[in-house]
Amino acid sequence: MINFEKKTIFEINNLLNERKISVEELTEYFLKRIEEKDKKFSAFLRVNNRAIEDAREIDKTIGQKEKMGLFCGIPAAIKDNILIKEQRATAGSRVLENYVASYDATVIKKLRKEKTIFLGKTNLDEFAMGSSTENSAFFVTKNPHDTEKVPGGSSGGSAAAVAGGECLFALGSETGGSVRQPAAFCGVVGLKPTYGSVSRYGLISLASSLDVIGPLTKTVKESAYVFDLIRGKDPFDATSREDHDVSSVNEIFIKDPKKLKIGIPVEYFPQSLDKNIKGNIDYLIEQLTKKGFSVEKTSLSHTDYALATYYIIMPSEASANLARYDNLRYGQKSSKKQEKNLIDIYIQNRTSGFGNETRRRIILGTYALSSGYYDDYYIRAQAMRQIIRDEFSEIFKKYDILLTPTTPTPAFKVGEKISPLEMYLSDIFTVPANLAGLPAISLPCGKVGKMPIGVQLIGKPFREEDLFLLADYLEQEIIKENKSTNY
């Protein structure tokens, strides 16, 4: 019996092309794994009941000798805030509990064209607001490495599905670290692409100036190929862009990673950083230096303001974006027959539909945007965001890549972080890249006890290939012992 969940997309593609397994058998294998493993991990909100049919269809239409594309028949999991036509998309919220998408997100269209199999939709914090997947309106997802621990969030379901071997890759979304932080907690590779490099069309909005879709995979090379498939300008997203300087994905890994200049921003190594994480990152730096890389300490002096800036801008945009959930077009009609007027309907439905964290952020955002506070909070935060961007542009004149820890601690226990502020602080190393729109990747670099930890690489805009090149080198040459996932 082959353990397909331990194989990469490339290896599975070979098996499919050699006709050693059919797409139907492969899909069935993963559906069975989900049925079995998800009792413990709760990564999936629901399974796609058309997956087997789709798989049979591919087997039927593919010719005997026809070569299958890399993603043809590959079983994937999709975060439940990304729309798949005629399937439910809840964004982890009661408000959208019965919402059925009427169109495909652009990323889904692209995967569909390659005949990727959609296994199901994964759990998330309500409207992607959270760092532990505990804010889902439905249930809490568990970390496959230790089910007492959180998988991180908000793409916790997608990260757990990859780590638990319930799919070959997954899509998540980021606003302030929601792919990288769960990737670090679950021991998988998570990419936050440059803002605008992947279309947001069909992604349920949280904060539109920060949101981006990104892949979760077992290895760096797989991440590069998934990214290559989903990126590109889209007429349906006016903020999407195409960068014509990008190398073909096949050419990335033949380049010399030692040409990349690496900076280590000292602000990402505060006193409060977990000692084991610090030790692990220090080891990587030492090894890179030993192998002849140019590695230098540097400084990003406004890092300390990044999280505060983020927690003004994100809730402000969220409060505006979530105003659309008036329960007239989406959601359940109130059961009360005699509402007095429209405002009563809004209040009634929004109050019963939104969870605590969502309401907290809507109120915080409304506060920051209200007259009297707008100048002190929102305007100041936007100005600070520009300062942070400028500081990154300046530092990237000297370096190609910044290397930092992904999170200040390994995964915490379910229910451990009681106060919202405590939860927010777990995003402290990931939000700066979102504020500046930069690409960043997290890859597993060791373990503290049973729990994986991640190293983060931040790059120049549209230079994902630099991240892949160095991350692949780290993975292949320096971090060898981390390939394992617990099952």
Catalytic residues, by residue number, are: 79, 154, 178
CB atoms under 10 Å from CB of 380, counted, come to 16
Q: Would you count residue 201 as binding other proteins (CB under 8 A)?
A: no
Q: Would you count residue 204 as binding other proteins (CB under 8 A)?
A: no
286 to 34, 250, 267, 295, 459: CA distances (angstroms): 40, 30, 18, 9, 20
Length of the chain: 487
Query: Out of 94, 420, 448, 487, which residue is the one contacting other proteins (CB under 8 A)?
Result: 420
Interatomic CA distance for residues 215 and 212, integer angstroms: 10
Query: Out of 1, 60, 63, 235, which residue is the one contacting other proteins (CB under 8 A)?
Result: 235
Minimal distance in Å, beta carbon 315 to other proteins? 9
**Which range in 122-130, 259-267, 276-284, 327-335 contacts other proteins by CB under 8 A?**
327-335
Question: What pairing do the DSSP bridges indicate for beta strands 401-405 and 261-265?
Answer: parallel
65 contact partners, CB below 8 Å, separation of at least 6: none
Minimal distance in Å, beta carbon 316 to other proteins? 12
Query: Out of 100, 250, 296, 393, which residue is the one contacting other proteins (CB under 8 A)?
Result: 100
Q: Would you count residue 387 as binding other proteins (CB under 8 A)?
A: yes
Q: Is 132 left (phi over 0), alpha (psi -120 to 50) or beta?
A: alpha
342 burial class (0-12, 13-18, 19+ CB within 10 angstroms)? exposed
Query: Out of 25, 267, 339, 416, which residue is the one contacting other proteins (CB under 8 A)?
Result: 339
Query: Out of 379, 415, 450, 484, which residue is the one contacting other proteins (CB under 8 A)?
Result: 379
Q: Would you count residue 351 as binding other proteins (CB under 8 A)?
A: yes
Q: Would you count residue 289 as binding other proteins (CB under 8 A)?
A: no
Interatomic CA distance for residues 296 and 291, integer angstroms: 14
49 contact partners, CB below 8 Å, separation of at least 6: none
Interatomic CA distance for residues 471 and 475, integer angstroms: 6
* Chain-centroid distance, C-alpha 29: 25
**Which range in 7-15, 258-266, 286-294, 320-328 contacts other proteins by CB under 8 A?**
320-328
Q: Would you count residue 244 as binding other proteins (CB under 8 A)?
A: no
Minimal distance in Å, beta carbon 192 to other proteins? 22
**Interface with other proteins by CB under 8 A: which residues?**
98-100, 102-103, 235, 238-239, 302, 304-305, 307-309, 311-312, 319, 323, 326, 328-330, 333, 339-343, 345-348, 350-351, 354, 359-360, 362-364, 366-367, 370, 376-377, 379-384, 386-387, 419-421, 424
